[in-house]
């Protein structure tokens, strides 16, 4: 088995862990390729791997999912960040995780992804969310949202977050959206700081097709999983729909979503 490792090189702890990972993988006969000058090992030059491993926080896992989608292989995250909703394993799990990889004893759970296409012809794919938000800090934007070809609502807000259940724990949650079990397939739409009476998230079927059009002369920026797709002016739009291909997440001991929420957010029992 060959592992492709992506590391958050800005975190010394992640770099140190990556060094441990390479040594431990070698003892088990696992081939490893890596990205970045700060990470030792064979340079990853685009060849096929069996699993993409992310070492860092959720941002690193999101970066790894892009490579996993390109290669049509699963992703596995080690949590060297702060919250780590997307990571399957902790640093102390290294030896047991590598043992199971060497044995081929892994299970892969597919998670839906989103495809975003702008009026400028730029296309992006993500497992978390598509965000359309203001550029000018003191001015709201106006976004006309159409769902399955029917007008829904014009949002006057700081922006709109269109998220998968996986992404419901990220920006959407910070904006007041619900936490959605990633085993459910759905698309949620949450306004960021809306200036309107309607300020609730709407959760849609995974087949829903959305268009967000800029209806005022206040430009917006569009991003997918934190990667910029560009800016849009008046009458510019972005179409969002479920992408044709899911991304696989490696899992070992199945942890329920409520348990993960409780542990990652440090929630204790009431009373």
231 part of a folded domain: yes
Model confidence over 98-109: pLDDT tens digits? 999 999 888 999
**By the 8 A CB rule, do 71 and 50 touch?**
no
Q: Give every residue of the chain whose pLDDT is below 50, as ranges.
A: 270-271
Count CA atoms within 13 Å of residue 144 on its CB side. Answer: 12
User: Do 36 and 53 belong together in one domain?
Assistant: yes
Active site residue 58: yes
| pLDDT computed for residue 271 by the predictor | 45
DSSP 27: H
Q: What is the pLDDT of residue 143?
A: 96
Residue 96 resides in a domain:
yes
d(CA 54, CA 17): 11
Are residues 118 and 237 part of one domain?
yes
Name the active-site residue from 19, 42, 58, 144.
58
Q: What is the pLDDT of residue 227?
A: 96
Sign of torsion over alpha carbons 163, 164, 167, 169: positive
Are both 230 and 212 inside the same structural domain? yes
Which CATH number does the domain housing residue 49 bear?
A: 3.40.50.10330
* Residue 271 maps to a domain: no
Overall domain count for the chain: 2
Residues 253 and 238 in one domain: no
Cα 224 from Cα 65, distance rounded (Å): 12
In a domain, 101, yes or no: yes
If asked whether residues 88 and 128 sit together in one domain, one would say: no
- Outline where DSSP puts E strands in the chain: 2-7, 31-34, 42-43, 51-56, 75-79, 107-111, 114-118, 123-126, 129-134, 141-147, 150-157, 159-163, 187-192, 202-204, 210-214, 220-224, 227-232, 237-242, 247-251
Task: For residue 270, tell me if it sits in a domain.
Answer: no
Residue 224 forms part of a structural domain: yes
Q: In the prediction, which pLDDT does 269 show?
A: 62
The answer to whether residues 143 and 169 belong to one domain is yes
* CA gap 225, 58 in Å, rounded: 10
Whether residues 47 and 28 share a domain: the answer is yes
- Both 230 and 209 in a single domain? yes
In a domain, 229, yes or no: yes
Domain extent for 26: 2-111+246-265
Query: 137 and 179 share a domain?
Result: yes
Distance CA 129, CA 223 (A): 8
Convert 139-153 to b/e letters by CB count within 10 Å (16 or more is b). ebbbbbbbbeeeeeb
**Contact (CB, 8 A) for 100 and 51:** no
Is 216 in the same domain as 255? no
CA-to-CA separations, 136 to 2, 159, 189, 234, in angstroms, rounded: 46, 11, 22, 14
């Amino acid at each position: 088995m060959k592992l492709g490792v992506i590391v958050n090189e800005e975190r010394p702890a992640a770099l140190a862990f990556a060094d441990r990972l390479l040594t431990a993988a070698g003892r088990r006969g696992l081939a490893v390729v890596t990205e970045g000058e700060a990470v030792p090992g064979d340079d990853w030059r685009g060849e096929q791997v069996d699993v993409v491993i992310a070492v860092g926080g959720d941002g690193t896992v999101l970066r790894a999912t892009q490579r996993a989608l390109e290669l049509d292989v699963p992703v596995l995250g080690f949590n060297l960040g702060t919250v780590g909703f997307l990571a399957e394993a902790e640093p102390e799990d290294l030896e047991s995780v590598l043992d199971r990889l060497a044995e081929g004893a892994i299970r892969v759970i597919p998670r839906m992804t989103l495809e975003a296409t702008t009026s400028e012809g730029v296309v992006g794919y993500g497992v978390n969310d598509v965000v359309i938000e203001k550029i000018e800090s003191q001015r709201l934007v106006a976004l006309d949202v159409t769902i399955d070809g029917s007008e829904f609502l014009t949002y006057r807000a700081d922006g709109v977050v269109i998220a998968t259940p996986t992404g419901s724990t990220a920006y959407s949650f910070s904006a007041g959206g619900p936490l959605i079990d990633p085993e459910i397939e759905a698309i949620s739409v949450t306004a960021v700081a809306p200036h309107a009476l309607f300020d609730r998230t709407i959760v849609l079927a995974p087949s829903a097709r959305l268009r967000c059009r800029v209806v005022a002369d206040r430009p917006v920026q569009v991003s997918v999983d934190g990667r910029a797709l560009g800016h849009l002016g008046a009458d510019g739009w972005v179409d969002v729909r479920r992408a044709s291909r899911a991304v696989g997440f490696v899992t070992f001991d199945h942890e329920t979503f409520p348990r993960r929420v409780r542990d990652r957010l440090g929630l204790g029992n009431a009373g």
